[in-house]
Structure 1
Amino acid sequence: MIPLSLARRGCDMGRFGSVFFVFALVLVGCSSIPRTALAWGEFGHLTVCDLAYRNLTDASRDELKRIFHAGQGGITVHAKDGTELRHYTSFNVGCLEEDERPRKHAADHFVNVDRTTTSIPAASCPVGGSCIFAGIDRDLTILKDRSKSDEDRVFALMAVGHWIGDIHQPLHISFADDKGGNAIKARVVGGCGTSSYRPGNLHAIWDGCLLEAGLFQKVRNRADFKSTWGRRTITYRAVDTLLANTSLAEEQAMVGTDPAVWANESFQITLQPDVQYCVKSGNACHYSDTQASLGPDDEERKVSLGSDYLEQYAPIAEDRVRLAGFRLAHLINLALDTAYQGPAKDSLQP
């Protein structure tokens, strides 16, 4: 029997599993697995990757199923440390893998720039030897290479799903000294919609609170919403909404750019004064009114945000997730389907 801690990636049967196979063994105890803090939040990443999965071509989906060993109940591979065995059955849950500890590619979750930077002109890592651009390039190359093992390609696919989610989260394109807003204490007056999520810093507000108050709250407000739904079902219904509100023309425009553009989109949001991430001072964006940057022994500043902040930025967070999902589908289709010529209309699209 597969240990529960290793089978957790297979607990999500709602989309990927229901499409082509059910791995019953891993259902035991899934509801008891605790939630952990993840970039974009667990539900954000699940939404991005399910949206991408639903926009794969038949050829891409068939190849994805094949490398996941769908007909055999999933793939068992060595974990990142090379010793532990893990079992994977679904792509969307696999997109959470890069946030598992210890992180194999910790630097690839971000682009850290100097505080005088005003734009991201190219897909190069400006500070340090690695960043999200390096992760995208490395793992897309592995995914495309059919001479690589299924194990290598599965890890690469799951990682690409995570990187494309991360590059669209604005505070992942930010400054190293405050850890992308993790070192800015924050509270939201009134909470994040009707969810129980309670962020403790600005990064967490963007990871989860804005989506809980916006995209996922819309699902909770639907007449057909049921409190008895499986815990992750809300992400699948959110994807329904994103598909139904994105035309083919919009999708085609979304995917006609590259990761440098996506990172710069995120960074321009990060720099907006109303985001309260940094304080403009000439060409620089300082940590606070009194500090250019945050030192290791400095006290973290605090912000208190209200419903007006959620109303302003929840739609932006939703749009970043939407962009990430469609763009991820495009990259996977390019990697797995040699006949792919660009987006085609989905059945739910207007």
Structure 2
Amino acid sequence: MASLAALALLLHIPQALAWGLTGHRLVAELAEPDLTPATRVQLDRLLASEPGATLPGIATWADELRKQDAELGKRSARWHYVNLGESDCHYDPPRDCRNGDCNVGAIKTQTAILADRSLPDAQRLQALKFVVHLVGDAHQPLHAGYAGDKGGNDRQVNVDGKGSNLHALWDSGLLRRTGLDEDALLAQIRALPAPAEAEQPMPVPPPAAAWAQAACRIALAPGLYPPGAKIDQAYFDTWTPVAQRQLRLAGARLAQVLNAALDNS
């Protein structure tokens, strides 16, 4: 039984690597300029319990859980995605998120914990780590795609003569292909127009179901699944800007979520 449980956890790991290290840090870095002073005070207080911790620094914590806390890593494995591809991107909670065990449900639950000042700081800090990461996950299209191919993990592709899979290509391959370092990517993505909704207050809990459905529609868009295994330059030219816009959107929404949860002024 133990070996089967370990196998089940391993099967979920690939879907939990949305955007990779760089992408998740970018989402947090994109959010920081839009945080209110009151939110910043609350964040600094929570982060201070871990020396050296920063918002970008905790952005990949949820992907590292399987090494640090196998039990929590296993329990939270499904929080990184919600598969809507087979239902034409329609989200149905009883079917797609039973007991809140999906990306949409986890964002709702963890945001509520973060916002609850009656809870211990340690619990709220853990919720913060989840929120920062899971909001990023919600905007990676293949985290809302098909269950049948594990969000593109089973779709093999070839990039410059090297084997990979579609999920990995979207996690990090598109950004890596730009040849830009993190600072240059941040500047490039930050220069994109801010979403119009960024000026509107964010409810608690945030509308993560709508985010997932929108991400799913990208995953199902013609051409995202290439007709063959080979990924050519035209694919990067078409889809890298889409990935960057999703990161821009994720950063803006993360700031809104944090402001709604932490700024009581």
Report what 1:174 is aligned to: 145
Displacement of 1:213 in angstroms is: 2.5
1:55 to 34, 43, 56: 34
Aligned-partner Cα distance in 2 for 1:58–1:258 = 24
Question: 2:12 maps to which residue?
Answer: none
Superposition pairs of residues 1-350 of structure 1, within 5 angstroms: 38-69=17-48, 74-75=49-50, 89-100=53-64, 101=66, 102=70, 103=73, 104-113=75-84, 115=86, 117-121=87-91, 124=93, 126-127=95-96, 129=98, 130-189=101-160, 200-214=164-178, 217=179, 220=180, 234-247=181-194, 249=196, 251-252=198-199, 258-276=207-225, 303-339=229-265
- How many residues end up aligned between the 2 structures? 239
Alpha-carbon distance in 1 for matches of 2:134, 2:189: 20
What CA distance in whole angstroms lies between the structure 2 residues aligned with 1:187 and 1:254? 43
Report the residue type matching 1:328 in the other structure. Answer: L
Decide which moves more: 260-269 or 247-256. Answer: 247-256
* TM-score, structure 1 as length reference: 0.62
Name 1:287's counterpart in structure 2. none
Equivalent residue letter for 1:134: G
C-alpha displacement at 1:57, in angstroms? 0.7
1:199/1:163 CA distance change after superposition, 3 Å: farther
Partners of 1:40 and 1:166 in 2: how far apart? Answer: 7
What's the secondary structure of 1:180's corresponding residue? coil
* CA spacing shift, 1:209–1:255, aligned 2, 3 Å: farther
Residue 40 of structure 1, CA deviation: 0.9
Identity %: 34
8 A contact 1:68–1:150 mirrored in 2: no
Partner Cα separation in structure 2 for residue 242 and residue 252 of structure 1: 18
What is the CA deviation profile of residues 63-118 of structure 1, one whole-angstrom value per residue up to 9, with x for unaligned ones? Answer: 1000112xxxx42xxxxxxxxxxx66122121111111132400111112362x11
Q: Deviations over 1:292-317 (max 9, x none)?
A: xxxxxxxxxx7211111111100000
Runs of 4+ with >3 A deviation:
247-251, 253-257
The 2-side partners of 1:311 and 1:241 are apart by 15
User: Whose Rg is larger?
Assistant: 1
Q: Alpha-carbon deviations, 1:154-198, whole Å to 9, x = none?
A: 1111101111111100000022231111111111237xxxxxxx6
Letter in 2 for 1:60: T
- Structure ranking higher in helix proportion: 2
Gaps of 5+ in 1: 1-36, 76-86, 191-197, 221-233, 280-301, 340-350
Aligned residue for 1:186, secondary structure, equals: strand
Contact 1:111 1:125 in 2 (8 A): no
Report the alpha carbon displacement of residue 249 of structure 1 after superposing the two structures with TM: 4.6
The residue aligned with 2:11 is none
Question: Which residues of structure 2 form unaligned runs of 5+?
Answer: 1-15
Asked if structure 1 preserves the Cα contact closer than 8 Å seen for 2:84 and 2:213, the reply is no
Distance across 2 between alignment mates of 1:44 and 1:125: 31
Q: Cα 1:147–1:249, aligned 2, differ >3 Å: closer, same or farther?
A: same
Instruction: Give the structure-2-normalised TM-score.
Output: 0.81
